[in-house]
Structures are given as structure tokens and as C-alpha cells.
Amino acid sequence: MIKTALPAALLTLVAGSVLAEPVTYQIDPAHTYPSFEADHFGGMSVWRGKFDKTSGTIVLDKEKGTGTLDITVDTSSIDFGHPKLNEHTKSAEMLDVEKYPTATYKGTLTGFKNGVPTAVDGQFTLHGVTHPLKLTINQFKCMAYPTDKKEHCGADASASFNRADYGISYGDKYGFKMDVKLAIQVEGTRGS
């Protein structure tokens, strides 16, 4: 009995690990805010803002060290904490949200260490233009929330890009720097 039970238990364990599948996490819009910093008049000040509406999915396979993400940001949800600047940024001179209502990021999780990704290699589409953009994952954690008992994963990620590369060069003639720094807090909930 013991001779057959042990191999059967080992076979079950091995089969379980082979059958492990990637897990999909739905972006939690209440805990996800892509934020950014942009120059004002070539070093006079730094304006900071965020986007209030984000959706998408993260697929993660910790065992295999693979994963993807597919994120959509509602560009009309931009918020500098300054209504006049919000409206100007939404206008055709800048984001042109009527023509380009979303920004997207599609990428592959990379640099796994102990089942945790350290970067994302992806394609960022803004203002109808797509370029490669690498995100650095500064921290990453998965846990069961004490409130809903579901598994959640969260991360803090960062990157920089030149907004003129995406056709948003307003302010260049006034000496504005075109570099934009991103700081992204994101959380996702495991699908049921």
C-alpha cells in the first residue's frame, strides 16, 4: 500500500504543477492611477497629474516566469488638480481626446526573480502614435486582501518618454522640455 501511495502522491503533485495555468487579474480602477510629471517653461516648475480611469488585464504565470499586460487609459480623465489646465491638455493642441480618447500599453513581463517580474517590455500608444516603452517595476506583491479574501497583485512602475515623439509638442517654442516621467501605481484582482 505504501509503495504505491507515495508514487501516486508524487505523480499528483507533479501533474498539478504541470497543469498550473497563468492567472488573469482585472485592473482595479479604484487602486490604479498612472501619474506623470511634465516641465513648465524649461525648468520654471514641474506639473504633476494623473489619469483617473484605467482598465485592462494582467496575465501572470509565476512558475514559468511569464506574463503580459494590456492596459487602456481614458485620456479625458486627466487631472492636474487645475480645471483650466485639464481642459487645455484635453484640447487638439495637446492630447486631442476627441480624436484619441484612449492611450494603451501592451507588454510582456520580464526579468523575473523568485516569481516576481522586474520590468515590462511593451508598446505604448498615445495620440495615435505607437513606440516601444520599457517600464521598470520598482516593487511588486501579490496577496489575499483581508477584506474580500481574493488574491490581488500590485506594482509600482516607472518610465520616461519624449512627448514630441508622440506628436505632442505644445510648449516647445516656449522652451518646455518634452520629457515626461511616468509613475504608475497599479493593482489587479484575480478573476473568479
User: Which domains are seen in the chain, by residue range?
Assistant: 21-190 (2.40.128.110)
Least confident among 9-13, 89-93, 168-172, 187-191: 9-13
Q: Which residues contact 109 (CB under 8 A, 6 or more apart)?
A: 58, 60, 66, 67, 68, 69, 117, 119, 120
Asked if the model's pLDDT at residue 113 lies above 80, the reply is yes
Region 73-87: mean pLDDT is 97
pLDDT computed for residue 192 by the predictor: 55
Least confident among 8-12, 25-29, 148-152, 159-163: 8-12
pLDDT computed for residue 16 by the predictor: 46
Beta bridge partners of 67: 60
26 within 8 A of 189, measured Cβ to Cβ: yes
How many angstroms separate the CA atoms of 106 and 77, rounded? 20
Q: Which residues contact 165 (CB under 8 A, 6 or more apart)?
A: 129, 131, 178
Buried b vs exposed e over 23-54: b needs ≥16 C-beta within 10 Å?
bebebbeeebbbebebbeeeeeeebebbbebb
The band of 191, judged by pLDDT with boundaries at 50, 70 and 90, is confident
Asked if the model's pLDDT at residue 185 lies above 50, the reply is yes
pLDDT computed for residue 70 by the predictor: 97
pLDDT for 4-24, tens place per residue? 444 444 444 444 445 568 999
Region 163-183: mean pLDDT is 97
Structure-block grid coordinates of residue 5: 501511495
Asked if the model's pLDDT at residue 186 lies above 60, the reply is yes
76 within 8 A of 90, measured Cβ to Cβ: yes
Structure-block grid coordinates of residue 85: 489646465
